[in-house]
Each structure stands twice: as C-alpha cells, then as structure tokens.
Chains A and B, each alone.
Chain A
Amino acid sequence: MIGDVAPRHFAFADNQPDTVSELRLDTGPACAAELKADAVDVVLLTPV
C-alpha cells in the first residue's frame, strides 16, 4: 500500500496559543517543507 516510511517524523506540542499563529504561519509550513524535502506524499497525524 505504501512505498516506504519517511526517514523522519515530527512532533508538535499541544499547548499552542489560541490563534495557533506559529503553527499556521511558521512551524507548520516549515514542517511541510521538511516533509517535502524527504519526498513525503501522505502525512498521518496522531495525537498522543
């Protein structure tokens, strides 16, 4: 079903500020760029 598992995974703290602005404008897009650099197609998001 999948070609391979990505070489890296990323974790985010749950206690984000109300606006989630860092996640939306900074850390989230930066994470996306890193994932794309790893040739990722699909991201599975799980809570802990």
Chain B
Amino acid sequence: MCTLAHVLEAAGLSTVVFASMREVAEKMSPPRVLYCEFPLGRPLGKPLDAAFQREVLARGLALLAANGPVLETHPEVIEAQEAPLVCAMPPRFDPDVPPAVDEARGLRAAYDRALAARGVTGVGRVIDADAVPAALEALHRWARGASWKDVALPGKNTVAVAHDIRSYYEEAATELATGPTPGGGAAEAWFFDTTEAGRTMLAARKALQDQGAPFPFWFYMAPAHR
C-alpha cells in the first residue's frame, strides 16, 4: 500500500495512506499516513458507524495540507474482539452424514437469503455453494485418517476450498446472528471455535500436516495462530 502510494504520487496524484502497520509505514515513508490502530479488516474502525468513519476520513484528508512527509496517529485505539458471533445453528437432522455435512446443508437457506440480500458472494473461488457439503465430507474423511492422495477434494485447492467454505458459513451467519455489531474477530472465532465445519477444517489441516502434505497445502487453510 505504501509502495503504491509512491507510485501514484510519481504519476501526479495525491495520496493518503490509512495504515494498520506503523513499522511498515515508517520504513516506506509515503507522503501522508494516518496510522489507525483498528482491527485488521476494519480500516475505518467501526462498521455501520458513519459518523466515526467520516471522522477518520476527515482526519486523513486533513493531511493533504501538510508540506513534508507526515505520519499521524488516530487517537482512538480499537481492540479486536474475539468473542464469537451469537448465531442460531440448525439442529442435527441426518445422523447418517458427518456433522459438518449436516450442518452445511442446514445453513443453505440462510446462505441463499444472504446472497439475495447482498447480491454478491465470496463463495466461488473453486467451488460453489452446492459443493460445500461434499467438500466438508472430504475434509471429514481426511480428518478421520483417509489419505489426501486417495480421497479427492472438490475444487482440489485446499486453501481456496477453505476460503469458499468459510465464506459460505460467514455469509449465512449474517442472516442468523443476533446481538450487537460483532467485533473484528467474531466471525472467525465463531467459525473455528463453534461450528462443526470449523472443527472439521482444523482437524483435516492437522491430518494433512501429519501425513506430510506440502506446507502450503495445509498451513494456509486457517489463520496462522490456529
């Protein structure tokens, strides 16, 4: 982002960087930086709070009046909230399929409502919503000891499939979650800590590691700290 600022400035545009990593901004020294200690993924701090977002933008735009390189810090710090979303989940329905498969099927109506409401979806890098249960079934079998070389994963690319499954779940959750606006880490915590799919994904990731699968195959299926 700081590199891009230099490139755009060289072309005659004026830039303001809203930085989330102070050390990088200091090292790269683009002309105008507002360092904001907000949760990653929330560059303007507070979702659905137009007044707060406008204040952040105004603070950044005010840097256009500065002459030399300037790095200011937004005075408010917002910590990531790791408490999981509060989200109703479908009860167990078909005891003959793995829990994650049952769960994903049960979330389909909510996913469809979310898609209709938003008009866009993050699902579809390598699999569509129809394939999510089958992908979870393959992950379940890996987690239970099947070799990743013997049991094919729909979509093949483990990292992209993990992205599609998480998108499916988190978009469905937007239709089901209740309570106040969730914190920055709430959806991730909900997925990995409370859903069958999240547990299955982490178990499959561990199984891949134990089976000696290449590092990039399994490591990037989940955030590094998990």
> What residues make up the interface of A, taking CB atoms closer than 8 Å to B?
1-2, 12, 16, 20, 23-24, 28-29, 31-33, 35-36, 40-48
- Tell me if B111 is interfacial: C-beta within 8 Å of chain A: no
Q: Are A42 and B18 in contact (CB under 8 A)?
A: no
Q: Are B60 and A35 in contact (CB under 8 A)?
A: no
- Tell me if B151 is interfacial: C-beta within 8 Å of chain A: no
**How many Å from the CB of A30 to the closest CB on chain B?**
10
Pick from B16, B40, B41, B43: contact of A42, CB under 8 Å:
B16
Q: How far is it, in angstroms, between the C-alpha of A40 and the C-alpha of B8 when the chains are bound?
A: 11
| A-side interface mostly | mixed
Q: Are B14 and A42 in contact (CB under 8 A)?
A: yes
Lowest 3 A-B CB distances belong to which pairs?
A: A32-B11, A28-B7, A46-B43
Encoded as 1 (CB less than 8 Å from any A CB) or 0, chain B from 64 to 77 comes to: 10000000000000
> What residues make up the interface of B, taking CB atoms closer than 8 Å to A?
1, 3-5, 7-8, 10-20, 40-41, 43-44, 57-58, 60-61, 64
Q: Are B8 and A43 in contact (CB under 8 A)?
A: yes
Q: How far is it, in angstroms, between the C-alpha of A1 and the C-alpha of B41 when the chains are bound?
A: 26
**B contact residues around A20 at 8 Å (CB):** 3
User: A24-B3, A32-B12, A36-B13 provided; 11 other pairs, C-beta below 8 A?
Assistant: A28-B4, A29-B7, A35-B8, A35-B13, A42-B14, A42-B15, A43-B13, A44-B57, A45-B1, A47-B1, A47-B19
Q: Are A44 and B18 in contact (CB under 8 A)?
A: yes
Q: Are A12 and B4 in contact (CB under 8 A)?
A: yes
Pick from A35, A40, A45, A46: contact of B44, CB under 8 Å:
A46
**How many Å from the CB of B57 to the closest CB on chain A?**
7
Chain B minimum-CB-distance residue to A1: B61
A-B contacts, 29 listed (Cβ < 8 Å)? A1-B58, A12-B4, A16-B3, A24-B7, A29-B11, A31-B4, A31-B7, A31-B8, A32-B7, A32-B11, A32-B12, A33-B11, A35-B8, A42-B61, A43-B14, A43-B15, A43-B16, A44-B16, A44-B57, A45-B1, A45-B4, A45-B5, A45-B16, A45-B18, A46-B18, A46-B43, A47-B19, A47-B43, A48-B43
